[in-house]
């Protein structure tokens, strides 16, 4: 079957990397505001180094992002010009509940998203809203320990209830947690987890993820009750593991790694923990002590669709002395058959088709590719007519190959795919490095690693290419 006529084409962003205005409109401080650019970044994202904003001289790129807060009208107009019929964005939790545990939401924050969604509506663009994309009010982290604490479920419940009620009729596609498996890799960024030196981090991560899973099921329930038209998805950082060799131990290792990634969406898609999870928890000495009501909550409120980010496949071996690589916070074995981006993320379009087939075989639920793309250094150049552009053929090549791959998954393999929102459709701050230099967009933003720049927007060559792709519903690549 060819791509359906109402296939959703668009792009993806997240509040923490583009919105900025961190002290405006009554917004409270969030974990993402205190993740610095520079050498401390990784330790802070992992929750092993704790930053005190008052005592720090570091630069915190999320605080200004690309100033989407003041540029959303211009940005959405540009998305519409490309032909988007979907726009993935996220809510900054601390804009709605600045502390996280208040009784009443911050009206100014709600009004901001009202304006954004109205702007989308004006152009016939469906918002696809991630409720939490790596952000958590700092007050919830200081006072309750972030997602380690089951009380987070009720704060999240309050947040989603406000959102579903307020934006009923304006938003119908929702994602509960961005890349839920990221909690295992960057737990402070993923779930506001900070660790003490002697703490059992593994255990804390799985307990926190369990709280997120309960919160996600609860959100799905509430979303459906408030508006039966709501579609709620889970979201994982995907990319199948390949065994480095046909050595059975390598194949087994790849299976274990895939399970580690799928564990959480197994629960969100099927409604219960898989048997291999129970085994894992036993090894960790972890007892989730689930009540019958909680089991029922998970069971009765599975997601409507499976969304995922895909940048690369992954590879793993048990053998010594084989090269390593890292992509999207996932360390693994270097696949000798693949080229890589300037940041070492390996490039594998066929891996997208493989990953989609694995997910669809496993869950038989519609898929949504909500992130994909190439982070690259761009050069803004002036054309003869005086206007500016970026000749980003490398980005076009990457996206073309991945679109071809997902079309094959749909047309030849029969996978159901709702839409495609490549990451960072407008340049924004890199999550892993905090750089602006790692650009993904169709739109260039004049903003640089050191925080300089005018925030002015420029269309790249890929802007016009993607416009054609959308216009032809993926026929003209």
- Our CB check for ligand BGP shows the closer of 237 and 470 to be 237
The upper half-sphere exposure of residue 250, i.e. CA atoms within 13 Å in the direction of its Cβ, equals 16
Catalytic residue among 19, 119, 179, 253: 179
Among residue numbers 184 through 203, which ones bind ligand BGP (CB under 6 A)? Answer: none
> Least distance to ligand BGP from the beta carbon of 343, Å?
7
Rounded distance between C-alpha atoms, residue 160 and residue 99, angstroms: 15
Q: Which is nearer to ligand BGP, 298 or 356 (CB)?
A: 356
- Judged by CB, which is closer to ligand BGP: 317, or 372? 372
Max alpha carbon distance in the chain (Å)? 69
* Beta carbon nearer to ligand BGP, 94 or 317: 94
**Binding flags for ligand BGP, 233-272, as an x/- string (CB under 6 A):** ----x-----------------------------------
As measured in angstroms, the least distance from the Cβ of 5 to ligand BGP is 29
The verdict on 438 binding ligand BGP (CB under 6 A) reads yes
Q: How many Å apart are CA 17 and CA 60, to the nearest integer?
A: 11
Choosing from 262, 431, 436, 443, the residue that interacts with ligand BGP (CB under 6 A) is: 431
Among 375, 419, 422, 441, indicate the residue that binds ligand BGP (CB under 6 A): 375
Task: State the Cα torsion 128-129-135-138 to the nearest 10°.
Answer: 170
Nearest residue to 12 (alpha-carbon basis) of 431, 434, 321: 431
What is the H or E stretch that residue 220 is in? helix 201-226
Number of H helices, E strands in the chain: 15, 16
Helix (H) or strand (E) holding 402, with range, is helix 393-411
Q: What DSSP letter does each residue of 270-325 carry, written as one string?
A: HSS--HHHHHHHHHHT------HHHHHHHHH---SEEEEEES--EEE-SSTT--EE
Question: Least separation, in Å, of the C-beta of 142 and ligand BGP?
Answer: 24
CB of 143 to ligand BGP, least distance (A): 26
The yes or no reply on residue 176 touching ligand BGP (CB under 6 A) is: no
445 C-beta neighbours (distance < 10 Å), count? 26
d(CA 20, CA 429): 10
Considering the complex, what minimum distance in angstroms separates the CB of residue 12 from ligand BGP? 8
Hey, which residues between 9 and 38 contact ligand BGP (CB under 6 A)? Answer: 14, 17
> Based on CB atoms, which residue is closest to ligand BGP, 105 or 233?
233
Q: Report helix, strand or coil for 430.
A: coil
* 3-class state of residue 331 by DSSP: strand
Check binding of 100 to ligand BGP (CB under 6 A): no
475 in active site:
no
* Closest by Cα among 130, 125, 18, 78 to 442: 78
Element (H, E) at 163: helix 152-166
Least Å distance, CB 328 to ligand BGP, is: 5
Which residues 285-314 are close enough to bind ligand BGP by CB under 6 A? 309
Figure out which of the listed residues 64, 85, 132, 178 binds ligand BGP, where binding follows CB under 6 A: 178
Of 63, 325, 328, 372, which one interacts with ligand BGP (CB under 6 A)?
Answer: 328
Q: Does 430 bind ligand BGP (CB under 6 A)?
A: yes
From the list 19, 126, 212, 371, the catalytic residue is: 371
**C-beta closer to ligand BGP: residue 238 or 297:** 238
94 contacts ligand BGP (rule: CB under 6 A): no
Stretch that binds ligand BGP, among 146-154, 270-278, 283-291, 431-439 (CB under 6 A): 431-439
- Alpha carbon of 217 to those of 26, 233, 297, 300: distances in Å? 29, 10, 6, 8
**Of 424, 302, 400, 304, nearest in space to 352 by CA:** 400
* Structure tokens given for 384: 């003869």
Kindly indicate which of the ranges 162-170, 289-297, 424-432, 455-463 contains the residues binding ligand BGP, using the contact rule CB under 6 A: 424-432
Rounded distance, CA 176 to CA 303, Å? 10
Choice between 64 and 309, CB closer to ligand BGP: 309
Structure tokens at 306: 């499976």
Please choose, out of 76-84, 198-206, 215-223, 429-437, the segment that lies near ligand BGP by the rule CB under 6 A.
Answer: 429-437
Bridge partners, 389 (sequence order): 381
- Nearest distance in Å: CB 371, ligand BGP: 6
**Measured between alpha carbons, how far apart are the two ends of the chain, in Å?**
18
Interface characters, 210-239, with ligand BGP (x: CB under 6 A): ---------------------------x--
Residues 253 and 318: their CA atoms lie apart, in Å, by 7
Q: How far is the CB of 445 from ligand BGP (least distance, A)?
A: 14
371 an active-site residue? Answer: yes
Nearer of residues 10 and 243 to ligand BGP, judged by Cβ: 10
Dihedral sign from CA coordinates of 427, 237, 213, 150: negative
Question: Nearer Cβ to ligand BGP, position 180 or 315?
Answer: 180
Strand partners, 367: 306, 417
Residues that bind ligand BGP (CB under 6 A): 14, 17, 178-179, 237, 309, 328, 371, 375, 423, 430-433, 438
Among all residues, which ones are annotated catalytic?
A: 179, 371
């Amino acid at each position: 079957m060819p791509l359906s006529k109402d296939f959703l084409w668009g792009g993806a962003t997240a509040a923490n990397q583009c919105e900025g205005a961190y002290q405006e409109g009554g917004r409270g401080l969030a974990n993402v505001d205190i993740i610095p650019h520079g050498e401390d970044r990784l330790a802070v994202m992992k929750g092993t180094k704790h930053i005190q904003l008052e005592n720090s001289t570091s630069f915190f790129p999320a605080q200004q992002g690309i100033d989407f807060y003041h540029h959303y009208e211009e940005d959405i107009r540009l998305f519409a010009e490309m032909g988007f019929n979907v726009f993935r964005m996220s809510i900054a939790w601390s804009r709605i509940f600045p502390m996280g545990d208040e009784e009443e939401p911050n009206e100014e924050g709600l009004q901001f998203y009202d304006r954004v969604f109205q702007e989308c509506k004006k152009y016939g663009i469906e918002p696809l809203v991630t409720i939490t994309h790596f952000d958590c009010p700092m007050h919830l982290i200081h006072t309750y320990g972030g997602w380690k604490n089951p009380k987070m479920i009720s704060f999240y419940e309050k947040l989603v209830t406000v959102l579903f009620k307020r934006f009923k009729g304006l938003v119908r596609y929702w994602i509960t947690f961005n890349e839920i498996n990221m909690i295992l890799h960057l737990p402070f960024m993923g779930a506001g987890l900070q660790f003490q030196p002697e703490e059992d981090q593994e255990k804390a991560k799985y307990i926190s993820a369990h709280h997120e899973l309960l919160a996600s099921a609860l959100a799905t329930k509430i979303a459906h009750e408030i508006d039966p038209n709501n579609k709620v998805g889970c979201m994982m950082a995907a990319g199948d593991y390949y065994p480095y060799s046909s050595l059975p131990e390598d194949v087994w290792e790849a299976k274990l790694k895939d399970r580690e990634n799928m564990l959480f969406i197994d629960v969100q898609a099927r409604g219960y923990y898989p048997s291999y999870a129970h085994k894992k928890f036993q090894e960790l000495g972890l007892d989730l002590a689930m009540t019958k009501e909680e089991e029922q909550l998970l069971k009765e409120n599975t997601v409507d669709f499976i969304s995922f980010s895909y940048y690369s496949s992954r590879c793993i071996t048990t053998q010594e002395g084989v090269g390593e690589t890292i992509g999207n916070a996932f360390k693994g074995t270097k696949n000798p058959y693949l080229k890589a981006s300037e940041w070492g993320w390996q490039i594998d379009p066929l891996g997208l088709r493989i990953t989609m087939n694995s997910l669809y075989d496993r869950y038989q639920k519609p898929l949504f590719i909500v992130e994909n793309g190439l982070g690259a250094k761009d050069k803004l150049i002036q054309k003869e007519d005086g206007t500016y552009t970026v000749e980003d053929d490398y980005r076009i090549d990457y996206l073309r190959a991945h679109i071809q791959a997902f079309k094959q998954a749909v047309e030849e393999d029969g996978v159901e795919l709702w839409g495609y929102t490549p990451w960072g459709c407008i340049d924004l701050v890199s999550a892993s490095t905090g750089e602006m230099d790692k650009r993904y967009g169709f739109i260039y933003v004049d903003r640089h690693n050191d925080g300089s720049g005018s925030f002015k927007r420029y269309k790249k060559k890929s802007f016009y290419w993607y416009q054609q792709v959308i216009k032809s519903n993926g026929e003209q690549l």
